Structure 1
């Protein structure tokens, strides 16, 4: 049996864990609700912005049969003309060939894109349509971008890309400059491409760099890259064809997607661009939900406007990450009350300590569940994703509720020897290890569902401090308890130890695994003593 001093230490740790979880829930929601003062942008107007109209559910450029109506494009460009002088497009398909003619109505210019890929037949259609569009709207076209990141994707060779560029150059009026756009590293790999374009268009996205740069330092990174490229291509005009910052998604090292960081980066970049008088284009006008399928949650949140065409932040004054932050506290209060009500069922303990434990556990669980619901609003697309996420969240809340009753009984000095069903922890471990595998081997675009797994992991961690398990954990649980933390170390290493989220994820794996290890060791020692 554990000694009284050991019990006292474990009880103290359990109370500390509940207090920290409660304070963390309070602090996190308060932190994202405060107004953050930021330096102002030099102007609310922006020179050029990437425009893709696929901002409503089900709209995607991958559907070659989908055609955006001229009315929708007109609606978008009429609104964008209030803030932007130019839009950049990426293709001629899906009805986007109509953009230059509509932009002319609002005295906007177009950096017109011709999309190139691995299909020669589709490339031919794009080239022919792009040439026809340029010739019909020569006064509106600021430039033509023949191919976007084709070399990065490996769809075409430099030689074949050059042939396409030269073909467009020969077929459009000489007053229209022609370029190719790619990440800045690829211009260093293929410097010969500079000789076939009228100006060099580079993409600088600090968040997506191999060594991600935090928003506070991102403009310094842009300045360093731009200066370097000027030295590599002296006498050649340079344009930043894409730069921006996401407002939601997973942390990459110390580069955090958020509304505040997007505003911080964009305002700072606009000041820098105005100082050096560089041509630039910001990515992008509207959030693009379809991009979440290929880039994870973060792919859908690069817009200055959300998918409902509402601005996400002002260009002047302070910025708030979550105006409805108080809903997190409300969820905590509601859940605390619910835990207290559930705690009255077949209650066999007395005292204020039990009620206090229930209220703190409920508040922490409520703020965590609200965090996960907020994450689901960003990440979930189809109904099946909502259904799966909701079921997992309901399961996590059920585990936390059941364990909180037993935790409250122990902290009220009532020695409740009942244990939750083994399959509860088996299910939580199985889901956690499955997600660990995905993160470890293909986690570049995956979020960390912290709000979901905080519920069972922290609950089992606190419960393990207060109880001595009566049964040996199953072999499957022992295996998963060993594998999970090992897999969870891999994201920490991938992020060079710089991502706070990966460390928290490792902590959750340990919180649910350590009680299994302890029970395993205790029962193994007991068996050995019996055999002796």
Structure 2
């Protein structure tokens, strides 16, 4: 048993956690619901925007048999023409060769893309179709972009790419300039490519940089890179072929995807672009759900419009991250009620302290579960994702509710000396360490499922403060508790200690691991004492 002074301290710390947890949940939801005042954009109109029509679930350019109907393209371009003078496409397949002719109806121009890869047969079809489209619509095409980041992907050599560019230039009207698009670092690696294009098209995406740049500094980064590239390619026209910011996904160091951050970046960039003579293109018109499969959650949320073609934020006035923030508070209230009802079953304690603990724990769990559901609405791509995520969330809620019943009993001054539900803790540790492994070795595109693991981990931390385990934790639990903490340090180091979410993830691992490690140490000391 613990000394009385330590018991009192542990009880006080447990109450502190139970009070702070619902306050933190309530504050987080309120914070994302408040309007944020941002500088206005100079205009609602934007020079050019990347356009891919695959904005509905199940639509993907990877399906070579899928053809977007001209009617859908017409619907999209009619709406886009109200705010954009130009659209950039990336390929000729899936029906996109119809874009220039349809764009001309709405007095728009097209930066027409020809997609290149490592498959020569596919490339030949793309080039042939691109040449035919350019010759049929010369007045609607502002430029031809032969290949997009194919050097970055390592799918073609500079020599073979040059041959494709020369083929397109020789077969299309001289009035249409021909270029190639890639991230700015690749242009520095292959500066000879500037000699075979009419202008240099660079991509500057502060979020995806090897050293990510936070939103408030992002446009300054764009200015610095653009000035540097002008010095590298003097006398050559430069175009920013892609720039933008995501509205959802994982934090990269201090670069945070959110609607507010996307609005801030775009407004700042448009103010900068209005002061210099610089052609540019913003990525992108619509959110693209199919990109989540290759880039994680963040890949699907670069659009100025969502996948339903609704604008995500205004170009003037305050911006709100989550207008329905009150749903988080409602979820907290529902959680409090459910935890109180769960505490009534087979109750062996009395007193207001127990009920208060259930209310506080239930509210915190409800707000956390609501956070996870919001994250799932962004990340889940199909029914299988929803089924698995929902099952995990339900399991986490059940573990938290069961533990809160025992915590309430402890705080009501009726000691419950029963052992912790070791199989529940084993399952929670196993799931946590499994995700830790993924985050440590392949975490570039993975989200931190904070709302899922906060529930059991914090509950076990509070339970560990109030109880003293009577048996040595199993070897498997001791191993997973130790390994989880060590693995959780990897994202902190990878993010250079700048990611607040990576630190919180480490804290979640510590919350469930520390009680196990303390019990391990205490029992080891006890055994040594007995042996002595």
Task: Verify same fold: TM over 0.5.
Answer: yes
SS state at 2:270 partner: helix
1:79 Cα deviation after fit: 0.6
Task: State the match for 1:35 in structure 2.
Answer: 35
| 1:22 equivalenced with 2:22 (yes/no) | yes
| 1:153 equivalenced with 2:166 (yes/no) | no
String of CA shifts for 1:503-526, please: whole Å, max 9, x gaps. Answer: 000001010001001111222222
Task: State the match for 2:309 in structure 1.
Answer: 309
Give yes or no for contact 1:402–1:420 (8 Å, CA) kept in 2.
Answer: no
Task: State the match for 2:61 in structure 1.
Answer: 61
| 1:321 equivalenced with 2:321 (yes/no) | yes
SS state at 1:234 partner: coil
Task: State the match for 2:230 in structure 1.
Answer: 230
TM-score (norm 1): 0.99
Task: State the match for 1:82 in structure 2.
Answer: 82
Q: Note the 1:185-204 alignment, pairs <5 A.
A: 185-204=185-204
1:58 Cα deviation after fit: 0.7
Task: Please give the alpha-carbon distance, in whole angstroms, between the structure 1 residues aligned to 2:524 and 2:188.
Answer: 60
Q: Note the 1:121-160 alignment, pairs <5 A.
A: 121-160=121-160
Task: Please give the alpha-carbon distance, in whole angstroms, between the structure 2 residues aligned to 1:40 and 1:177.
Answer: 34
Structure 1 residues without counterparts, runs of 5 or longer: none
Task: State the match for 1:529 in structure 2.
Answer: 529
String of CA shifts for 1:157-202, please: whole Å, max 9, x gaps. Answer: 0011011101111111110000000000111111111111111000
Task: State the match for 2:426 in structure 1.
Answer: 426
SS state at 1:180 partner: strand
1:411 Cα deviation after fit: 1.3
Task: State the match for 1:377 in structure 2.
Answer: 377
Task: Please give the alpha-carbon distance, in whole angstroms, between the structure 2 residues aligned to 1:328 and 1:238.
Answer: 46
Give yes or no for contact 1:150–1:156 (8 Å, CA) kept in 2.
Answer: yes
Task: Please give the alpha-carbon distance, in whole angstroms, between the structure 2 residues aligned to 1:74 and 1:462.
Answer: 58
Q: Note the 1:150-229 alignment, pairs <5 A.
A: 150-229=150-229
Task: State the match for 2:293 in structure 1.
Answer: 293
Give yes or no for contact 1:178–1:199 (8 Å, CA) kept in 2.
Answer: yes
Task: Please give the alpha-carbon distance, in whole angstroms, between the structure 1 residues aligned to 2:146 and 2:384.
Answer: 38
Task: State the match for 2:392 in structure 1.
Answer: 392
SS state at 1:202 partner: strand
1:307 Cα deviation after fit: 0.4
SS state at 1:201 partner: strand
Task: State the match for 1:464 in structure 2.
Answer: 464
String of CA shifts for 1:199-252, please: whole Å, max 9, x gaps. Answer: 100000000000000111100000000011111111111100000000000000
Task: Please give the alpha-carbon distance, in whole angstroms, between the structure 2 residues aligned to 1:64 and 1:126.
Answer: 12
Structure 2 residues without counterparts, runs of 5 or longer: none
SS state at 1:283 partner: coil
Task: Please give the alpha-carbon distance, in whole angstroms, between the structure 1 residues aligned to 2:531 and 2:165.
Answer: 81
1:355 Cα deviation after fit: 1.2
SS state at 1:150 partner: coil
Give yes or no for contact 1:202–1:242 (8 Å, CA) kept in 2.
Answer: yes
Task: State the match for 2:241 in structure 1.
Answer: 241
Task: State the match for 1:70 in structure 2.
Answer: 70
User: Quick check: 339-348 or 2-11, which moved more?
Assistant: 339-348
Task: Please give the alpha-carbon distance, in whole angstroms, between the structure 1 residues aligned to 2:511 and 2:101.
Answer: 60
Task: State the match for 1:114 in structure 2.
Answer: 114
1:529 Cα deviation after fit: 2.7
Task: State the match for 1:52 in structure 2.
Answer: 52
TM-score (norm 2): 0.99
Task: State the match for 2:437 in structure 1.
Answer: 437
Task: Please give the alpha-carbon distance, in whole angstroms, between the structure 2 residues aligned to 1:333 and 1:64.
Answer: 48
Task: Please give the alpha-carbon distance, in whole angstroms, between the structure 1 residues aligned to 2:387 and 2:426.
Answer: 21
Task: State the match for 1:105 in structure 2.
Answer: 105
1:471 Cα deviation after fit: 1.9
User: Quick check: 415-424 or 474-483, which moved more?
Assistant: 415-424
1:22 Cα deviation after fit: 1.1
1:420 Cα deviation after fit: 3.8
Task: State the match for 1:3 in structure 2.
Answer: 3
Task: State the match for 2:284 in structure 1.
Answer: 284
Task: State the match for 1:359 in structure 2.
Answer: 359
1:432 Cα deviation after fit: 0.2
Task: State the match for 1:13 in structure 2.
Answer: 13
1:419 Cα deviation after fit: 3.0
Task: Please give the alpha-carbon distance, in whole angstroms, between the structure 1 residues aligned to 2:277 and 2:257.
Answer: 27
Task: Please give the alpha-carbon distance, in whole angstroms, between the structure 1 residues aligned to 2:166 and 2:186.
Answer: 20
Task: Please give the alpha-carbon distance, in whole angstroms, between the structure 2 residues aligned to 1:231 and 1:423.
Answer: 63
1:417 Cα deviation after fit: 1.4
Task: Please give the alpha-carbon distance, in whole angstroms, between the structure 2 residues aligned to 1:2 and 1:474.
Answer: 21
Task: Please give the alpha-carbon distance, in whole angstroms, between the structure 2 residues aligned to 1:335 and 1:198.
Answer: 62
Task: State the match for 1:341 in structure 2.
Answer: 341
Task: Please give the alpha-carbon distance, in whole angstroms, between the structure 2 residues aligned to 1:517 and 1:356.
Answer: 29
Task: Please give the alpha-carbon distance, in whole angstroms, between the structure 2 residues aligned to 1:265 and 1:81.
Answer: 22
